[in-house]
A and B are shown apart, each in its own frame.
Chain A
Amino acid sequence: MSRGVLRERPQRFRFRALTALIVLVLAAFLMAAIRLNRATELSSISLTGWGFSELVRQVAVTSVDAAQGRRSDVLNDDLAVLQSKAEIVANDPFTEKLDDESAAALGRALSAAAALKVQALRGPAGTVRLQALLDDAQSAYAGAVAALGVQRAQLARDLNLVAVTLSVLALLLALSAGLVFRRFQQGAAHAVALEADRTQEARQYAARLHQLYEVTSAPAADQATQIQQLLNVGMDVFGATAGTFARVQDDRLEPVALAGDARQQTELLQQSADLSAGGHPSALVVPVTVSGERYGVLAYHLGVSGHLSRTEEPLHSERAFLRLMSQWLGQMLEQRRAERQLRESEARSQAIIRSSLDAIITSDDQGRVTEFNPAAERIFAVAREHALGHLLADLIIPPDARAGHKSGMERLISGMGGRILGQRLELTAQRADGTPFPVELSVVRLPVTPALYTGFVRDITDRTAAERRLQERTQQLDSVFRVSPDGFVMFDHQQRVVDVNPAFLEMTGLTRGGLLGQSEPDVTASLARLSDPALPFPTAVTHDTFEVLSLVRPTPRVLKRSVRRLDDLSDFSGYVMYFRDVTHETEVSNMKTEFLSTAAHELRTPMASIYGFAELLHTENLDPATTREMAEIIYRQAERLVQLLNELLDLARIEARAGKDFRITEQRLPPLIERTLEAFVPPGQRGRVQLQIDADLPPVAVDGNKLQQALGNLISNAFKYSPGETPVLIRACALESGVSVSVQDHGLGMRPDQLARAFERFYRADSSGSVPGTGLGLSLVREIVDRHGGLVHLESRIGEGTLATFTLPLLGAHP
């Protein structure tokens, strides 16, 4: 390519020359215009001359017509024309230019013409008149022609003057043009050449731009090829000997595309790495930025032996082109990156949609399905092919919800979808087989035209069922909590009471309002105040064990307390204090212990006699009397032991079977009482018995043997504790609700404290040992009467005797 620099001339000079030229031209035109104005005037006069000739011709025409004796109307027309033409001439300013003779002739002719009548034209007089008029008109015409000649000469002179002026102007122009030309000659030549150059350059530039455009816009197979092609365009455009494009990778430059001389490539890469160092004079280096970040460096080596002289520095236009290349390359890479990101994003979206556990369904604004993901296929049991293009309403909306769906879609389309869009709705959907199920739905509008709507649908069947189960369970637990006989105090993680149940309030007499919000030590202190001060209060509450609290207020109670953390069981990170009322169990347990202990004592005592005397008999030689005495003791004690065992076993059996082994039959009391007397009244004492038995005594439903045992024990006691000859009174009478049987003696009687303990097992009113007995008799009586549904009652006074009464319910009233 040719390269030249335009040497610029001083602008001022050009303006001055131009101004001078314009002034001269204006002056010349002014002069010429003045002259030309005069010429125009003359030309209008020459036109006026035509009026005179016309007047002459019309007079002549009229004369001929008159001479030929034409009809009046013809003559009339001729005269009218003649008079009008005369009038035109009369008004012509040129008349002033006429000489005096001509002016006089014109005056005559005009006045004659004005005075003429048609009649005056006919005949010889007319001919004379017209001849005279013609003469005068011709004279005037001749005068006018002469005047015109004068005027024409004047015009010729003026035009000559214009010509001379213009010649002078031309001379001036030529002169100044020559001056200017000499001065501009060289610059103009340059300008012309430069213009030609520029045109050429522009054409080349356009061609290169086109080349660049082709490369950057062509859908090349891949990015590397495209970059290489772009690099090659630069090689061609700059006539470079080497070219590189390197990419910034972790603060280092990695060559991406290379062209030309290998050694120079290495140099270029070094320069690329150090852009700020200014660079080699014969190198073109430019950074390439993508999305505002430095992406890489494009560089060309202009060499020293290129196809043009490359000793100079790169040109402005080359740098501009390089910048353009960098810009386009940057844009190209950015576009590539955007495309790639779009593809990746698209792929990701597809992957998400495909792998989503929620159904993702897209529909157009008519409610027709345009996308249906695998989860949707699974949840609704509808294949994608069957769903696409179909109405949502037909596919997945239960019939009774279709109207709502339709109006919802309409609201969406009309832009009033605010209620639906972005909300999380719980609705009922329908599977392919018509099964309704609960779903959670959220809808978004896709920003396209016409709008698409994507719904995210989650099958919440399981969740809903779980929620319902949880709710039911909570209600169950809550009612258990409320009605449980066990007391609960719930603490939160800060050891504050959050709830107590009615059972706990009942046990302790504390109030709910007073307990809520209290700390665990507060609660423990409240319980300690209610407890038996004589017993140690367990202060240390340990988890998953229990301790026993003995309350004395509001009523004596024994509570078993344990604490259980709830962390493992639920999200509630507190714990519950659990109280079980074991008062009854404790009493029973104490009674059992006491009973066992007492029973052991009662059994061991006769056993001690038997064992001890037996050993003495066995090991020692005793005299017969002692031996006999010992044998008697052994026998009595063994008998006592047997009786004790029998009564204990009877008691235990009655208790254990709760009377279920009783053989209840209808019995009449008098014979039963008689049999009992035979068995239990000590020999020889029968005379002391007094019987009072009502005659109308109703039959009773009893186990005969058991009742005999009970009555027998009472009779035995009466005899045992009433020595002497006092009577023993046995009464049986009918009551409203049953019968009562009583045994009364007049013996020792009991003190109130003895009476109070009379039914205790092993309790003996006589502790001297002189009255035989086990202490179980009255216990047995009570058990037996209890099991028959009756009651036992004792009355006694010390020294006066004892009255024992039991009742039995009527037949049929037995439980």
Chain B
Amino acid sequence: MTRILIVDDYPELRALIRLTLRRTSYELYEAASGEEALRLAHELIPDLMILDVMMPGHLDGLQVCRAVKSSEQLGHCQVLLVSARGQQSDLLEGEKVGADGYLVKPFSPRLLLGAVHERLAGTL
């Protein structure tokens, strides 16, 4: 089964993403902070993380992404960054930490669904 880890500090956003992906066959997991996300990631070894960039706490989305991408165990996991910051410099920042995609809030659920399918096209 393909696993997706949804990371956002806002429960409404997690609910939105969950509802958007509810009719797919992916297994959905949620985390509300960077620390929780990393812990769950190592536990679940997801295929894709939908990761909010700006989160309170010690680890923000960019740091989580970098940690995931540099981890041997999680190396194959794709990361789709979601952020309220949509400037060019923010996108570049995302690229630097190895993110595979970038969505700017507010986003269209259909676009998110398309992006997730595209990312996971080669996996089962």
Contacts and interface: CB of A to CB of B under 8 A. Distances in A.
Interface of A: 597, 600-613, 615-616, 619, 626, 630, 633, 636-637, 764, 767-769
Contacts of A619: 110
B10 A769 contact: yes
A398 B44 CA distance: 109
Contact of A626 (B9, B19, B83, B106): B19
B11 interface: yes
Contacts of A609: 10, 12-13, 16, 106
Tier of interface size on chain B: 20 to 34
B32 A768 contact: yes
A608 B15 contact: no
Contacts of B11: 769
12 contacts: A600-B85, A601-B54, A601-B85, A605-B105, A608-B13, A608-B16, A608-B107, A609-B106, A612-B16, A613-B16, A626-B19, A769-B9
B109 interface: yes
Most buried by B among A597, A607, A608: A608
B105 A608 contact: yes
B92 interface: no
A598 to B, nearest CB: 9
B85 to A, nearest CB: 7
Contacts of B104: 604
**8 nearest CB pairs, A to B:** A767-B56, A604-B84, A611-B106, A601-B84, A608-B105, A608-B106, A612-B16, A609-B12
Contacts of B15: 633
B122 interface: no
B20 interface: yes
Given A604-B106, A609-B16, A597 B85 contact: yes
Interface string B100-124: 0000111111100000000000000
Nearest to A610: B106
Nearest to A598: B54
B107 A612 contact: yes
Contacts of A764: 56
B85 A768 contact: no
A535 B10 CA distance: 36
B105 A767 contact: no
A637 B56 CA distance: 19
B28 to A, nearest CB: 16
Contact of B32 (A615, A637, A769): A769
Given A633-B15, A767-B33, 13 more contacts: A601-B85, A604-B104, A604-B105, A608-B107, A609-B16, A611-B107, A612-B20, A613-B19, A626-B19, A636-B12, A767-B56, A769-B9, A769-B32
Contact of B84 (A600, A615, A633, A636): A600
Interface in B20-68: 20, 32-33, 54-57
Contacts of B57: 767
Contacts of B16: 608-609, 612-613, 616
A605 B84 contact: yes
A729 to B, nearest CB: 29
A610 B10 CA distance: 13
B59 to A, nearest CB: 12
Contacts, number: 70
Contacts of A611: 106-108
B108 A615 contact: yes
Contacts of B9: 767-769
A604 B53 CA distance: 13
Nearest to B12: A609
Nearest to B15: A633
A612 B16 CA distance: 7
Contacts of B110: 615, 619
Contacts of A767: 9, 33, 55-57
A604 B106 CA distance: 6
A755 to B, nearest CB: 15
Most buried by A among B11, B19, B32, B108: B19
Contacts of A630: 19
B56 A605 contact: no
Nearest to A629: B15
A633 B12 CA distance: 7
A612 B56 contact: no
Contacts of A637: 12
Contacts of A768: 9, 32
A601 B85 CA distance: 6
B30 to A, nearest CB: 12
A611 B103 CA distance: 14
B54 A612 contact: no
Contacts of B55: 767
Contacts of A636: 12
A605 B20 contact: no
Nearest to A633: B12
A92 B107 CA distance: 193
Given A769-B9, A769-B32, A612 B84 contact: no
A768 B12 CA distance: 12
A107 to B, nearest CB: 187
A607 B10 CA distance: 12
Contacts of B109: 612, 615-616
Contacts of A610: 106
B89 to A, nearest CB: 10
Contact of B106 (A607, A616, A633): A607
B81 to A, nearest CB: 14
B56 A607 contact: no
A626 to B, nearest CB: 7
A605 B10 contact: yes
Contacts of B19: 613, 616, 626, 630
Contacts of B20: 612, 616
A607 B105 CA distance: 8
Contacts of B56: 764, 767
Contacts of A612: 13, 16, 20, 106-109
A610 B108 CA distance: 11
A603 B110 CA distance: 21
B33 to A, nearest CB: 7
B20 to A, nearest CB: 7
A391 to B, nearest CB: 88
Interface in B66-87: 83-85
Contacts of A633: 12, 15
Most buried by A among B12, B16, B56, B108: B12
Contacts of A615: 108-110
A550 to B, nearest CB: 20
Nearest to B112: A612
Contacts of B13: 605, 608-609, 612
A613 B106 CA distance: 11
Contacts of A616: 16, 19-20, 109
A760 to B, nearest CB: 12
A505 B84 CA distance: 45
Most buried by A among B32, B105, B107: B105
Most buried by A among B9, B54, B106, B110: B106
